[in-house]
Amino acid sequence: MQREADTNLAFDYLEHGTALQKAGDLDAAIDHFKKAVTLAPQLPEAWFYLGIALDDNGDFEQAIDAYFQAIHLRPDFPEAWNNLGFAYHQQEEWDLAAAAYKKAVDQRPDYYDAWSNLADTLQAKGALQPALEAMLKARELGPDHHEIWYNLGNLLAMMGSLDASENSFLRSLALKPDNVDALFNLGTLYVRLQRYEDACRTFEQALRLNPEDFESWSNLGAAHQKAGNYAEAVAAYRRALSLKPDDPTIRSNLHQTLAFQDTEQPPPKPATG
C-alpha cells in the first residue's frame, strides 16, 4: 500500500514538475522530478522527465545519468535513447550520440526526430555520406518539415552538390518563407555558383526580414562587387560597417571597392562570410 501511495504521489510531482518546466521554472521543476524519483525510483517516466529538465538546464552529465536509469528500467524506450543522444551531442561525444540515436531508430523506425538528430551528429562527426542517408530517411518521414530541407541544403552544399542544395533551400523557403538562415545560405550558395544577381536578390530578401544583420549586408556588398555593381557594393559595405565598425574584412572590402569604383579595373575579389 505504501509503495502504491508513493507511486501516486510521484505522479503528482511529475505533473506539477512538467507544469513548472513549461512555465520556465527549471529549478523548481528539477526539484519536483527529483522528489518523484526518490518516491518511485522504479518509474522510468520519472527518470526520463528528470533528464529532460536537466537537459534544458544544461546539466548534460546528470541528464545522461537520468536517461540511463530510464533505459535500465525500460530498455525499449526510443524517446529516452533519442534524448540520450542529444545530451551526448551537446558534449560533442559524436560516436556515443550516434549509437544512442541508432538505438532509437532501431526501436522505432518511423522516428523522424531521431533520424534528423542522427544526421546532424554524423554531419558534425564528418561522416557526410551516412549523414546524407539518415537525412534522406528523415525527409521521407517528414517532407513538410522546413528544417529537414534546410539541413539537407547545408549538407549538400558541404558535399559539393550545389544544384541539389539550391533545390533543398528553395523547398525549405516554400515551407517557411521567413527563414532568414535559409535565405542567407542560399545567397551564399548563389555566390559560389557565380549567380551574383540571384545572390543580391536573396540577401536583400534576408535583409528585409532582419535589417540589422551585418553579415547579410557584407555579403550583399560582396555579391554586388562581384557583379560589377560598385556603387551598390559601397552602400552595402557602409551599412555593414555601421553595424560592425571594427570588422577588418568589411573595412578592407569597402576600401578596395572605393579605390577601384571609378576605374576600368575591377577590385580584387572580396572576402565573404
> What pLDDT, in 10s, does the model give residues 171-218?
999 999 999 999 999 999 999 999 999 999 999 999 999 999 999 999
pLDDT in tens, 36-60: 999 999 999 999 999 999 999 999 9
Model confidence at 6: pLDDT above 90: no
Q: How far is CA 245 from the centre of its chain?
A: 28
Report the alpha-carbon angle 112-115-120, nearest 5.
125
- Whether the CA torsion 130, 133, 136, 138 is positive or negative: it is negative
Q: What is the pLDDT of residue 264?
A: 53
pTM: 0.89
Q: Which bin fits 58, alpha (ψ -120 to 50), beta or left (φ > 0)?
A: left
Compute the distance between CA of residue 31 and CA of residue 222 in angstroms, rounded to an integer: 52
In the structure, what pLDDT confidence band is assigned to residue 80 with cuts at 50, 70 and 90? very high
Mean pLDDT of 241-250: 96
